[in-house]
């Protein structure tokens, strides 16, 4: 892929991470000597096709400006909202007004283990096909559907089922329009692809590494640290490819 192709990344980071049972937002928890957010953003910025990272922060955030990341020339901050989609929309407005890119990536703040290879695969596929897409990993386990009181009702066939990951890449104007429409019509938006699906925009799944985990529970910190260590060893100290 041509290194001259450049795309910005919106990183929604306005959440407070209730499931982490921590006094600070999970993106600021320490992981291998840095915050999760630092690992994530530094991994993104070191990819040759990523021009900048736009981070949507909570209006009451008191942590970000204490990080060296706050002074990075390719980091832009915007005010996030109550929900993920509000934060992403805020970032998209910055893309239009500041970066003016026809394409945009969106990546979870708490996915520090994303690899350069997967980012390249996603970008390359979407540019070649002129379609939006998301990184995803195939479902491996038997999937159960339960009732409201947690009794199993049936097993779901796992063929063609995927775990949605990030980054997700779409055309900036299409994603902006999809999020605005879905929000106006009170649709539940769990990721960017769900807004695109609602508005009938085409999107593909691009197989990605299953170790691109999202730090959600306290035990995920140890797993993420192990993954980062293994990736570092595999690359012999270079940025993860």
Do 213 and 113 meet the contact criterion of CB atoms below 8 Å apart? yes
Backbone angles phi, psi at 171, to 5 degrees: -70, 135
Place of tokens 């990080």: 67
Q: What is the DSSP string of 138-169?
A: E--SPEEEE-TTS-EEEEEP-TT-EEEEEEEE
Nearest alpha-carbon partner for 58 in 19, 16, 17: 16
**pTM, entire model:** 0.92
Q: Which two tokens stand for residue 85?
A: 């989609």
Note if the bond before 104 is cis, omega within 30 degrees: no
- Give how far Cα 188 sits from Cα of 91, 93, 124, 166, Å: 19, 21, 29, 18
Give the H or E element holding residue 38: helix 36-45
Question: What radius of gyration, in Å, describes the C-alpha atoms of the chain?
Answer: 18
Task: Answer yes or no: are the C-beta atoms of 109 and 75 closer than 8 Å.
Answer: no
Token look-up 């001259």 returns: 4
Instruction: Write out pLDDT tens, residues 187-235.
Output: 999 999 999 999 999 999 999 999 999 999 889 999 999 999 999 888 7
Strand 162-171's sheet: what is its strand order? 75-79, 50-57, 7-13, 103-106, 162-171, 132-138, 203-207
Per-residue pLDDT of the chain (241 residues; tens, 9 = 90+): 566 899 999 999 998 756 555 678 999 999 999 999 999 999 999 999 999 999 999 999 999 999 999 999 999 999 999 999 999 999 999 999 988 899 999 999 999 999 999 999 999 999 999 999 999 999 998 889 999 999 999 998 888 899 999 999 999 999 999 999 999 999 999 999 999 999 999 999 999 999 999 999 889 999 999 999 999 888 755 554 5
């Amino acid at each position: 892929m041509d290194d001259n192709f450049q795309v910005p990344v919106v990183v929604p980071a306005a959440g407070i991470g209730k499931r982490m049972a921590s006094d600070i937002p999970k993106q600021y928890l320490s992981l291998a000597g840095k915050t999760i957010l630092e690992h994530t953003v530094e991994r993104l910025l070191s990819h040759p096709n990523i021009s900048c990272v736009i981070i949507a922060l909570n209006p009451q955030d008191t942590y970000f400006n204490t990080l060296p990341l706050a002074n990075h020339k390719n980091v832009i901050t915007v005010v996030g909202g109550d929900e993920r989609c509000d934060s992403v929309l805020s970032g998209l407005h910055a893309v239009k007004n500041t970066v003016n890119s026809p394409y945009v990536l969106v990546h979870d703040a708490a996915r520090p283990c994303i690899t350069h290879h997967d980012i390249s695969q996603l970008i390359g596929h979407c540019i070649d096909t002129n379609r939006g897409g998301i990184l995803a990993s195939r479902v491996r386990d038997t999937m159960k559907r339960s009732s409201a009181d947690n009794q199993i009702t049936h097993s779901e066939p796992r063929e063609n089922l995927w775990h949605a990951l990030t980054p997700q890449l779409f055309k900036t104007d299409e994603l902006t329009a999809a999020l605005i429409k879905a929000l106006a019509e009170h649709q539940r938006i769990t990721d960017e692809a769900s807004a695109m699906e609602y508005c009938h925009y085409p999107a593909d799944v691009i197989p990605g590494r299953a170790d691109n985990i999202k730090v959600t529970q306290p035990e995920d910190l140890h797993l993420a640290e192990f993954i980062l260590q293994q990736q570092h060893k595999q690359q012999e100290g270079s940025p993860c490819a």
